[in-house]
Amino acid sequence: MSTLSDENNFRVMKWNKGAKEGIVVTGGHDAGNASTQLSYPKGIFVDMLGTVYVADNWSHRVMRWPSGAKQGDVIAGGNGYGLEANQFAYPVGLSFDRNGNLYVVDQFNRRVQRFSLV
C-alpha cells in the first residue's frame, strides 16, 4: 500500500498493490480551510495506527486525520501566513522523531520547526 499527496486535487490518496483506482483518505472537497478540506497538500506521514498527518501548504497548517475519520484536526499552524511560532509560510514536509516530536519544514520562512504533541 502507498499513500500519496494529490495536491492539485486537494486530497491524499491510498493505493493498494495492484489496484486500478485509489481511495481518498483525506480532502477531495475543493481547496479550503475547513476540517474536511486541504489546500495543496504537500508532505504526508502515516503512523503505525494509520493516522495521516498532512502539511497543508496553502492553508499554512498541519492536519491530523485519524484512521477512518471524516474530518481532520489542526495540530500546528492554522493561524494564517506568517513568521510567528504558531504560523507557517507554506509548509512542505513533516516527520516525527522516536520521541513523538513533530518536525515541519516551513518553506518560505526557511526553517524547520519542532512541536511536542505529547
- The domains of the chain, with CATH numbers, are 2-116 (2.120.10.30)
* pLDDT value, residue 117: 86
- Which amino acid is present at 86? N
Sign of CA dihedral 35, 117, 111, 77: positive
Report the alpha-carbon distance of residue 32 to residue 40 in Å, rounded.
9
Whether the pTM exceeds 0.85: the reply is yes
* pLDDT value, residue 118: 72
* pLDDT value, residue 28: 87
* pLDDT value, residue 90: 98
CB 41 within 8 A of CB 11: yes
pLDDT per residue rounded down to tens, the chain (118 residues)? 788 899 999 999 999 899 999 989 889 889 999 999 999 999 999 999 999 999 999 999 999 999 989 999 999 999 999 999 999 999 999 999 999 999 999 999 999 999 998 7
